[in-house]
Amino acid sequence: MKTGLLIGGISMNFEYNHYYTKLYEMPLMTIVVAAIMFLSCTAILTVYLSKSRRMTVYKFGLFLASIFSIILLISGATSIKLDIKSDNPSESIQLLGEITEINPISNPPRFYYQGEIVIPKIIVINETEYYCMTVGSIQIGDYVEIQYLENSKVVMSIHETE
């Protein structure tokens, strides 16, 4: 679904499916893979340690893999947006206001917009945070009109107004 109207300045429209894949499906897959790896590594490590307490390179590798799996698990858990599942893409809310902050997102998903890899950002309008696939050249202080989804607060379209 594409939404948004061009009034003036920069205008960007985003796909709901891209958000859904990157903010729900991919993190869910990440969590599942990380959980399987963590359980496998710790189970095998426990079996080996029960036989002998002596640390070997292989056991150390399993220990490292367990730690990395936890990091991956946390990464997946923090990037999943469960709210997007309850959003209806055809019912977006319109808002006009000034961008007061643009904040980075830790470990952002790899979104593609018009064939380019873009970095999502959190924009703050009227003290509320919105998740935006990319802000392009929009800056703090710009007046924008956005259309966002009610629960997840993901921005479906953004354009600069004069």
Partner 1 sequence: MVLHVTMTPVMYSDISGYAPQWLIDYWNWVVDGYKSIGRSISQEFVVDISVSIPIFLGLNVKIGLSIVVNLNDDYVEFYPHIGPSIGYSSGPAVSLGALENYNNPGDYREWFEYGEAGYFVGGGHCYGVSDDLEYSDAVKAYYIEFSSPNISFGRDYYYWNENWIIDWGN
Q: What's the closest the beta carbon of residue 7 comes to partner 1, in angstroms?
A: 27
Q: Please, are residues 75 and 107 in contact by the beta-carbon 8 Å criterion?
A: yes
Q: What's the closest the beta carbon of residue 138 comes to partner 1, in angstroms?
A: 17
Alpha carbons 5 and 9: distance in angstroms, whole number: 11
Cα torsion through 54, 57, 62, 63, rounded to 10: 70
How many residues touch partner 1 under the rule CB under 8 A: the total is 31
- Of 80-88, 112-120, 129-137, 146-154, which segment contacts partner 1 by CB under 8 A? 112-120
Question: Per rule CB under 8 A, is residue 13 in the interface with partner 1?
Answer: no
Q: Please, are residues 126 and 97 in contact by the beta-carbon 8 Å criterion?
A: yes
Which residue in 148, 117, 157, 153 sits closest to 4, CA to CA?
157
SS3 36: helix
Question: Per rule CB under 8 A, is residue 110 in the interface with partner 1?
Answer: yes
Site for partner 1 in 124-153 (CB under 8 A): none
Both structure tokens of 101: 């902050």
Question: Per rule CB under 8 A, is residue 3 in the interface with partner 1?
Answer: no
Question: Per rule CB under 8 A, is residue 26 in the interface with partner 1?
Answer: yes
Alpha carbons 156 and 45: distance in angstroms, whole number: 46
Question: Per rule CB under 8 A, is residue 65 in the interface with partner 1?
Answer: yes
The contact set with partner 1 (CB under 8 A) reads: 18, 21, 26, 30, 33, 36-37, 40-41, 44, 58, 61-62, 64-65, 68-69, 71-72, 75, 104, 106-110, 112, 115-117, 119
